[in-house]
Amino acid sequence: MRDRSKLTRSNLKQTRRKSMLSVVADIGGTNIRLAVLTLATGEMSQVEEYPCATFSSLEAAFVQYFTSLTEPVSHLCIGIACPVEDDFVKMTNNNWEFSKTALKDKLSLTTLYVINDYTAISLAVPYVDDKDKIQIGGGKEIENGVKAIFGPGTGLGVSHLIKQDEKWISLDGEGGHASFAPNTSQQADVFLLLQEQFGHVSAERLLSGQGLVNIYNALCRIASKSTVYAQPSEISKAALANECEIALQALNLFCQAMGGFAGNLALNLQCGGGVYIAGGIVPRFVEFFENSEFREFFEAKGRLKSYLQTVPTYLITHSNPGLLGASVYLRQELA
């Protein structure tokens, strides 16, 4: 039996005469999603999702996916959760690291694009159907207006999106590591405990899966209570079931902090095109989020409150916005 665990340059080149495929990938701190892209239509097929922990390296994940395909891959676009400016890429919330040049060579690719995961997610936003997003407050978005996108997940991704001519351009950044700004006495108490623990308290220290745990642990300390839950899913489940008052407070504070952070993003570039929330956490408690203080804290910017009241905010419920955005990027670049 032929060993399909290794993808060599030689066997790829031998099949190079066949039709060449384009593949897009969305790589977060927890999962990797991949799909074959039809360039002419933008349709994606053969979508697969794997836990990152399954593989020792990024290359190994691509080897497994590529060997499942019937034709060789020529073009690959990767959206990944870390800075991507240099040839050497090291993930922030995962131990994977790689050289773009070496990866392109090892996979025998004609084209390799590596973009930040929130570059990909932001590029998906103009193409997300109404059925795949929920508006939470605000008015009507300005057509082709500047948009902000952020999402609590394993980390906190942030991007802005602008329209130039007929092309959407994502403005990369690491806004999730900007300093957290408390807006209530309770938030200030939590902030001080996290500062004692971490030194610098970024927004990601609160607005991520681990961030919800950090909030819960801090509130337990403030209340002189022992912690019961260690996972974000346990905390949100207890809060939604009204089984734990501190878990409920933690989820409330999480939504408040999201509102304050989202409002800051909207002001940074005057985002009349709306602020969009992505990531895997918030879709797990949509009803709670819709009824939370998120929007109140979003608008609570003093003299700019009346402006922010007009800016719409949306929760993205699309199952694979990272893949959709990577496909937009690849099609734009190859065109």
* Within-domain flag for 43: yes
3-state secondary structure of 220: helix
The number of folded domains in the chain is: 2
Ordered DSSP codes for 178-195: SBP---SHHHHHHHHHHH
The secondary element (H helix, E strand) that includes residue 334 is helix 321-334
pTM, full prediction: 0.82
Average pLDDT, the chain: 92
165 and 271 belong to one structural domain = yes
Give the pLDDT band (50/70/90) at residue 16.
very low
pLDDT digits (tens, 9 = 90+) for 210-249: 999 999 999 999 999 999 999 999 999 999 999 999 999 9
pLDDT: which is higher, 335 or 127: 127
212 and 325 belong to one structural domain = no
CA distance 99 to 86: 9
CA distance 127 to 186: 39
Q: What tokens appear for 159 in the block?
A: 């991007």
* Within-domain flag for 100: yes
* Within-domain flag for 36: yes
30 and 142 belong to one structural domain = no
Which residue range is the domain that position 231 belongs to? 130-317
Which pLDDT belongs to residue 20? 85
* Within-domain flag for 2: no
Which pLDDT belongs to residue 19? 63
Return the CA Rg of the chain: 21
Task: Judge contact between 254 and 206, C-beta under 8 A.
Answer: yes
pLDDT digits (tens, 9 = 90+) for 42-57: 999 999 999 999 999 9
90 and 177 belong to one structural domain = no
* Within-domain flag for 1: no
**What CATH number should be reported for the domain holding residue 42?**
3.30.420.40
**What CATH number should be reported for the domain holding residue 140?**
3.40.367.20
pLDDT digits (tens, 9 = 90+) for 262-276: 999 999 999 999 999
177 and 248 belong to one structural domain = yes
CA dihedral 302, 303, 309, 315 (to 10 degrees): -50
Ordered DSSP codes for 253-288: HHHHHHHHHHHHHHHHTT-TT-EEE-SSSGGGGHHH
282 and 146 belong to one structural domain = yes
Mean pLDDT for the stretch of residues 54-66: 95
Residue 134, number of CB atoms within 10 A of its CB: 17
Q: What tokens appear for 106 in the block?
A: 């090892």
154 and 75 belong to one structural domain = no
